[in-house]
Amino acid sequence: MATLDLTTFGFTPTESLVYEVLLRGGPGTGYAIARAAGLARANAYGALEGLV
């Protein structure tokens, strides 16, 4: 999956990836978002917290 480059707006690369997964798939659990992004759950939860 090609990721959006949102780092110029202050997003981390992981936050950018998680944001794109949310845009493409809509709401989901942290587990489902981590799987869709190919991330460890801890990293996905950290990125989700950063997006809030």
Per domain, the residue ranges of the chain are: 8-51
pTM: 0.86
| Nearest in space to 50 (alpha carbons), one of 3, 17, 8 | 17
Query: What integer best gives the mean pLDDT of the chain?
Result: 93
Provide the b/e sequence for 10-38 (b: ≥16 CB within 10 Å).
ebeebbbbbbbbbeeeeeeebeebbebbe
For the chain, percent of residues with pLDDT exceeding 70: 94
